[in-house]
Chain A
Amino acid sequence: MKSTAVVSDAGLQARPSRREHGHNPTVPRGGKRPSWKKRSAPWAYMAPSMIVLLLMTVAPAIFIFYSAFRNDKILGGAGRFVGLNNFIEAVTNASVRHAFLITFAFVAVAVILEMLLGFALALPLAAQTTANKVGAALMLLPFAVTPAVAAMIFKQLLNPNYGWVGYYLGYLGFPRGIDLLGDPTSAWIVLIILDMWQWTPFIALILMAGLQSLPGEPREAALVDGATPWQMFRHITLPAMVPFIAIAAVLRTIQAFKTFDAFKILTGGGPGESTEIINLGIFRVGLQSFNVGLACALGVIFLIILSLLIPIMLRVIGRQSDPEEM
């Protein structure tokens, strides 16, 4: 038993990989158990990625869990342990509650509208014609625009004095020089429209790819049986599209929770605090008011809420990308 292991080990040793060179392989304990070298190789390949991810996600997470219980300021001044004070402030503060609530409202409204519109656009786009290829390329354009640039362009289009939107809305009976970003309701409408402009194409293109991958036979059979278009959509297309709808919805929800650029540039959270979503709130508290403790407490709460989405993501994306592995 031992001798066979040594032989197989010698075979490996004859061609030491660069990474493993210099290591002394321990004697395997059982004949079937791979050598230490063989077992450690995957870890060696994984290590660089794990270091980067530990540095950029796990270490920050540990830091915010630690700082959330302290009253550190970024600019000097030794902080001290303050217990749950930051969390109590986070939970009792009305503007924080508002920030969380409008974040959820924004994500829900944006994702639902974009899913509905994306599907409506994907259906005519799915037929593989030359016109549709041009259409799909055009559709990608808004999606490709740098979000910060998109927000900047929207801001200029909406400029009350010189913007195209205010000017041309004048022809439709709106007052000339309307300031759409000056009023909370219209500012929200603009933010939703910007998000839809940018992200509906992403959903439409995912769903388009889904529609194109569906087999044609069930539809043909239904057509032969005299199904109406609605019946066909409801009973054949829609059920087959569920995995793609799930992927688009999950990815878009995660991205929507990360939205920052558009709000920062277009409204800066205003007017007042009416559009200050939690991302902007954490940025303002932490990096502008330098109240690190409170910002970290908000970060902890946000992180915990978002981590509830992880199992859904693993299910939807993981299962779909490789059914055998997950």
Chain B
Amino acid sequence: MTTTAPSVRRGLIARVIIGRTFLWAWLIVGLVPLLFMLVTSIKPAGLANQIPPAWLFTPTLENYASVLSAGGGKSESFGQLLLNSAIVSLGATLLAIAVGVPAAYALTMREFRARKGLSSWILSTYMFPPIVAVIPIFVFAGRLGLIDTYPVLIVPYAAFNLPIVVWILRSSILQLPYEIQEAAMVDGASSWNILRRIIWPLLVPSVATAAVLTIVLSWNEFLFALSLTRSGAKTAPVGLQQFTGMYGTDWGNITSAATLIVAPILVLMIILRRQMVAGLSFGAVK
């Protein structure tokens, strides 16, 4: 061992240096697009798409003000679009949690024979490609007169996040000691009371994770929002595209709008980093 140790050590050190250099290079290069977005959003008018790029300037918030206030000839301001995004995301989250918690509980009930099959079915709906669902939903919603309303986004977003929500919650319930439930059953508690008084309080952290994940994924969604809304329920990511035509190439406005879309999500993700990764892997990675 003593003879091989120095060479092993050298190999390890070399590998560590290469690995760390690569890691930090990736992180720095990866931040360039975000830096561009942030820097351009606070550039004064006229400097935003100047070449060579201006690096010295007095920062201004005028882009944010103009994006949030003016309708710019459109019926809806960007503030309204952000509000639409928030309503749709929160609505989808409430719906997903409201139907997901009881489902997750049912899928852990020992006397429930269908639980394995149904668990697998719910997990497998994650495979369902949104592009395949969007045309039928467009047709159904059109017949029901629901195009461009909040529910036409809320229900699909809740449905497409349900596999993640149900699986996170189901794994969390399975991790609770079953003896607690058994003790309550012996005392004659109904399944509803077990869920409400025993499981729910212990489940709150997992519910929070699932909720934040659903908010983020709904907030970021583009295909359904693009296809199923016109103006009344249009969300911010879709509205961002309109800025190109609306203001020509006013990069100041586009980048400040982009920053407004991304900022709340970035904050949530950084706070809940570990939980996000665990959640997106259906609780398979802790």
Interface residues of A (CB under 8 A from B): 11-12, 14-20, 34, 38-39, 41-46, 48-53, 55-57, 59-61, 63-64, 67, 74, 117, 120-121, 123-125, 135-150, 152-154, 156-157, 159, 161-162, 164, 167, 197, 200-202, 205-206, 209-210, 213, 223-230, 244, 247-248, 251, 254, 257-258, 260-261, 264-265, 278-279, 282-283, 286-287, 292, 295-296, 299, 302-303, 306-307, 309-310, 313-314, 316-318, 320-322, 324-326
Chain B residues with CB below 8 A from A287, complex form: 134-135, 138, 227
Question: Which of these binds chain A: B29-37, B58-66, B72-80, B200-208?
Answer: B29-37
Q: Is B90 an interface residue (CB 8 A)?
A: no
B123 → A minimal CB distance (Å): 6
Q: Is B26 an interface residue (CB 8 A)?
A: yes
Among B1, B22, B107, B193, which residue has its beta carbon within 8 angstroms of that of A120?
B22
Q: B34 contacts A46, CB within 8 Å?
A: no
Q: B103 contacts A48, CB within 8 Å?
A: yes
State the CA gap A15–B40 with chains docked (Å).
63
Chain B residues with CB below 8 A from A67, complex form: 136
Q: B139 contacts A292, CB within 8 Å?
A: yes
Interface size on B, residues (CB 8 A): 120
For B107-145 the 0/1 string (1 means CB < 8 A from A) is: 101011011101110111111111111111111101000
For B223-240 the 0/1 string (1 means CB < 8 A from A) is: 100110000000001101
**Given contacts A50-B103, A254-B127, could you give 18 more A-B pairs where the C-beta distance is less than 8 Å?**
A41-B191, A42-B106, A45-B191, A52-B99, A60-B133, A64-B135, A124-B20, A142-B34, A146-B261, A148-B220, A260-B222, A264-B226, A282-B135, A283-B131, A303-B132, A313-B124, A317-B282, A322-B171
Q: A141 contacts B31, CB within 8 Å?
A: yes
**Max chain A Cβ within 10 angstroms of own Cβ: one of B12, B27, B140:** B27
Known interface pairs A287-B134, A321-B171. Does A226 touch B4 (Cβ–Cβ under 8 Å)? yes
For B172-194 the 0/1 string (1 means CB < 8 A from A) is: 00100000000000001111110
Q: List 13 A-B contacts (CB under 8 A).
A: A18-B192, A46-B106, A49-B100, A57-B159, A60-B136, A145-B265, A153-B34, A167-B51, A206-B277, A260-B131, A286-B134, A317-B123, A324-B174
Known interface pairs A56-B133, A120-B22. Does A162 touch B251 (Cβ–Cβ under 8 Å)? yes
Interface residues of B in 209-252 (CB under 8 A from A): 216, 219-220, 222-223, 226-227, 237-238, 240-241, 249, 251
Q: A52 contacts B158, CB within 8 Å?
A: yes
Interface residues of B (CB under 8 A from A): 1, 4-5, 7-8, 11-12, 15-16, 19-20, 22-24, 26-27, 30-34, 36-37, 40, 49-53, 95, 98-100, 102-103, 105-107, 109, 111-112, 114-116, 118-120, 122-140, 142, 155-156, 158-160, 162, 166-167, 170-171, 174, 188-193, 195, 216, 219-220, 222-223, 226-227, 237-238, 240-241, 249, 251, 254-255, 258, 261-262, 265-266, 268-270, 273-274, 276-278, 280-286
Q: A153 contacts B106, CB within 8 Å?
A: no
B215 → A minimal CB distance (Å): 12
Chain B residues with CB below 8 A from A226, complex form: 1, 4-5, 8
State the CA gap A326–B127 with chains docked (Å).
18
Known interface pairs A74-B142, A162-B51, A247-B284. Does A156 touch B254 (Cβ–Cβ under 8 Å)? yes
State the CA gap A61–B37 with chains docked (Å).
40
A143 → B minimal CB distance (Å): 7
Among B31, B107, B155, B278, which residue has its beta carbon within 8 angstroms of that of A55?
B155
Known interface pairs A49-B100, A149-B258, A152-B254. Does A309 touch B127 (Cβ–Cβ under 8 Å)? yes
Q: A325 contacts B119, CB within 8 Å?
A: yes
Chain A residues with CB below 8 A from B119, complex form: 318, 325-326
Q: B216 contacts A314, CB within 8 Å?
A: no
Q: B283 contacts A321, CB within 8 Å?
A: yes
Minimal Cβ-Cβ distance residue in A for B95: A52
State the CA gap A177–B111 with chains docked (Å).
67
State the CA gap A148–B278 with chains docked (Å).
24
Known interface pairs A56-B133, A135-B24, A149-B261. Does A42 touch B115 (Cβ–Cβ under 8 Å)? yes
Chain A residues with CB below 8 A from B122, complex form: 49, 53
Q: B111 contacts A39, CB within 8 Å?
A: yes
Chain A residues with CB below 8 A from B193, complex form: 15, 17
**Max chain B Cβ within 10 angstroms of own Cβ: one of A143, A153, A205, A287:** A153
Q: A53 contacts B33, CB within 8 Å?
A: no
Q: B103 contacts A49, CB within 8 Å?
A: yes
B199 → A minimal CB distance (Å): 11
State the CA gap A145–B118 with chains docked (Å).
33
B20 → A minimal CB distance (Å): 5
Q: B126 contacts A17, CB within 8 Å?
A: no
Q: A42 contacts B33, CB within 8 Å?
A: no
Q: A45 contacts B219, CB within 8 Å?
A: no
Minimal Cβ-Cβ distance residue in B for A265: B241
State the CA gap A310–B124 with chains docked (Å).
6
